[in-house]
Amino acid sequence: MSEFVLKHWTIFLAVNLAFIFTVVTFGHHHLHDEKGLLENFQAFLLFSATILYFRLTMLNDQSEESKRVNMGLSLLCFSFLLREVDIEKLPFMETAGFLFHGIGRTILLVVLWSGFFKNVYDHCEIRLLAIELLTSKYMLFLNISFLLLVVGTTFDKEFWDIEHGRLYEELAETNAYLILIIPAIFGCFYKYRESRNARFENRKIN
């Protein structure tokens, strides 16, 4: 997976530069406005990553530590999703919307993360979990995502008086979430391919 980023980083860069050129040159600032294209794409990435990492959590052919890493990443993506999307404003969330906004959202995340850490404590050795995470294929992607989110935060807090700061903030966050979902996509794809190959071999035997 790491080779994927190293091999295709020029494509990522080219797409970003093309998007910046389009917005700045032709004035398409609606693309990075509130509820614009970038924010909707971020929501899609985070929702998909939450589902995919949770799907990896449900697989049995892995260690308890690997399951908890995937569970934590699913919860992390869900936390980001609640931050990026006003779920309480969706029509079908009128009744339970308070759970995803303000103090309700804070309480919900505290409960979920507390449950996660309790689960980790009950079923895993913390040392092995830390080793699993630090030596896993996820680490490069997590580091890149973290750095991009830090970059986005600097633009959001307006540490520098720079033109089109809002554009660069949203673009950095979009890239962060895109990098974050890549391990989940690869993981689910490899598991699907292994399952398909196993079924194919069983048919040959029978």
- In the chain, how many domains are there? 1
Q: State residue 55's pLDDT score.
A: 94
Annotate the chain with DSSP letters as a single string: -HHHHHHHHHHHHHHHHHHHHHHHHH--GGGGSTTSHHHHHHHHHHHHHHHHHHHHHT-SSS-HHHHHHHHHHHHHHHHHHHHH--GGGSGGGTTTGGGGSHHHHHHHHHHHHHHHHHHHHHHS-HHHHHHHHHTSTTHHHHHHHHHHHHHHHHHHTTSS--TTHHHHHHHHHHHHHHHHHHHHHHHHHHHHHHHHHHHHHHHHH-
Q: b/e per residue, 150-167, with b = 16+ CB within 10 A?
A: ebbebbbeeeeeeeebbb
The series of mean pLDDT values per 10 residues for the chain, 206 residues long, is: 69 93 92 88 96 92 85 95 76 60 85 93 80 81 94 87 90 96 90 72 62
Place of tokens 């040159």: 25
- 192 lies in which domain range? 2-205
Q: State residue 20's pLDDT score.
A: 95
pTM listed for this prediction: 0.87
Q: State residue 191's pLDDT score.
A: 81
CA distances from 178 to 14, 51, 109, 166 (A): 15, 14, 23, 18
Q: State residue 168's pLDDT score.
A: 94
Q: State residue 173's pLDDT score.
A: 96
